[in-house]
Amino acid sequence: MPHVVEQASTGRAKCRGCGVAIAKGTWRIGEAVPNMFADGENAEARHWYHPRCAAYRRPDAFLQALEGADAPVDDRAALVAEAQAGLAHHRLPRLDKAERAASGRASCRHCRTPIVKGAWRFTLTFWEDGRFMPAGYLHPACVAGYAETTDGVLARVRHFTPDLSDEDAAAIDVAIAEGAANPLPPGTGAD
């Protein structure tokens, strides 16, 4: 079953990337994923995404779905570039939301030092066994060392954190840039 791009025939499917329903008539990406609980003709399921959410989170499926399809998806060329960036830097698709640390107990996945309570952090997700799993946190300043690029990082995180204010986004952008100027080395056990 190939990955597809098509116009949503109903408005019922929720995007796996952002959790928001995909409006009827708008373009959506359908990723074919193995269904481990079935065989035969039900051995695959389809996961739906907004095009931008797929470009960020499932770049391989996004690019395959668009290959040879002339679907006039909004911002198609820019989204293709984002997906290609996600393939070139394989940790980029793990970036999720920005939030303030609710406690000081979690350590950064890159530098392995604790993230201070109340400080900004990025949540990470890993794609495992056909679904997204929470995979810890990252200092915004550690993105440069972790993802090996800072291009488009803030736009990605803002996409998945729609309620982030411009002021908070600006503060996070400063931290990302500071980390790029002075990258911290990975701590023991970082991945």
Q: How near is the Cβ of 189 to Zn ion at its closest, in Å?
A: 13
Our finding on whether 50 is near Zn ion (CB under 5 A) is: yes
> What are φ and ψ of residue 13, in 5° steps?
-75, 135
Rounded CA-CA distance 128/79 in Å is: 23
Degrees, nearest 5: CA angle 36-16-110:
90
Find the part of the chain contacting Zn ion (CB under 5 A) among 65-73, 83-91, 139-147, 166-174: 139-147
Helix (H) or strand (E) holding 174: helix 166-181
Shortest distance in whole angstroms from residue 36 CB to Zn ion: 24
What is the footprint of Zn ion within residues 86-125 (CB under 5 A)? 108, 110-111
Stretch that binds Zn ion, among 7-15, 25-33, 125-133, 169-177 (CB under 5 A): 7-15
Pairwise CA distance, residues 57 & 60, whole Å: 9
Examine residue 139 and tell whether it contacts Zn ion (CB under 5 A): yes
Residue from 29, 142, 157, 176 binding Zn ion (CB under 5 A): 142
* CB closer to Zn ion, 67 vs 178: 178
Closest approach of Zn ion to the CB of residue 95, in Å: 14
Cite the DSSP H helix spans in 23-160: 51-57, 59-66, 76-88, 143-147, 153-160
CB of 185 to Zn ion, least distance (A): 10
d(C-alpha 51, C-alpha 71), whole Å: 11
Give the footprint of Zn ion on this chain (CB under 5 A): 15, 17-18, 50, 53, 108, 110-111, 139, 142
